[in-house]
Amino acid sequence: MSRLRRDQDAFGQEIAAIVDDPDTMEIIERDDGRIDAYSAAYTLSPLRGWQPIERRALRYVTGRVLDVGTGAGRVALELQKRRHAVVAIDNSPLAIATAKRRGVKDARVIALADVGRRLGTFDSIVMYGNNFGLVGTPRRAHRILRTLAAMTSPNARILAQTIDPYTSKDSAHVAYRARNRRLGRPPGQLRVRARFGTAATPWFDLLLVSPDEMRGIAEDAGWRVKTVLKGGHVYIGVLEKRNG
């Protein structure tokens, strides 16, 4: 999903709204008609409000960091406190504007699919907030991970947060996974859009994978999963480069 126009920037409008109203909800619509509402408070959360696995995974962050899908900048701000040089990216202009107002020093309107070597070399890539899913499909994941390998140092790591789709026994989710299989799609590949007021993002693919599926995707693209930090249905895969 490329840079968003204002009428498409539902996520950015939500981010801007939550600064004034902590009860603002995040609305996600799936292509089978399901609509879910989530608390958006996490987007402004300081470290003490993060998920335990997110706090634990910070021990793996080194050097210069690329914060993917920064939103309001919660990760970038914490890493700046820890004296990391951080480049924060998001395809939402309004989210980037909010992140800058909150103190993120280097925040840029760039979609994950558009990153490249022009951003320089990184030692760590952080994909919190289920942002590993932004790879969209296994094919795009391969291309994106190869690109990230080319723009990172030899001992670089990716902190890839996602949801294991197979942990949900909700009948609607089970049916959606079955539908995906019939269509020849990965079971955990979602077609969704975010909504806020009259704004709606374009439809986009969000890829949810099990730890084993993440391992397969990583191996095919020059990375390996060093460890998996689990927090219920959410987990963070710590990826390291396979050099040589």
Is 67 exposed, middle or buried, given 0-12, 13-18 or 19+ CB atoms closer than 10 A? buried
Is 167 inside a domain boundary?
yes
| Mean pLDDT per 10-residue section of the chain, whose length is 244 residues | 82 91 92 93 92 98 98 97 98 96 97 96 97 96 97 97 96 96 97 95 97 96 96 96 75
| Cα angle: 150, vertex 155, 159; to 5 degrees | 85
Residue 19 lies in a domain: yes
pTM of this structure: 0.95
Compute CA distances 202 → 27, 72, 176, whole Å.
14, 20, 20
Cα–Cα distance list, 215 to 82, 141, 177 (Å): 29, 12, 20
d(CA 241, CA 19): 37
pLDDT at 40: 86
pLDDT, position 2: 65
| Gap between the Cα atoms of 231 and 55, Å rounded | 11
42 close to 49: Cβ distance less than 8 angstroms: yes
- How far apart CA 222 and CA 202 sit, in angstroms, is 31
Q: Residue 227: which CATH number?
A: 3.40.50.150
**Residue 194 located in a structural domain:** yes
> Position of tokens 């969209």?
136
Structural domain of 224: 6-241
Its sign, for the CA torsion 80, 54, 165, 147, is positive
Domain count, the chain: 1
79 CB burial (10 A radius; 0-12, 13-18, 19+): buried
Is residue 70, in this structure, part of any structural domain at all?
yes
Residue 1 lies in a domain: no
Please check whether residue 160 is in contact with residue 58, taking contact to mean a CB–CB distance below 8 angstroms. no
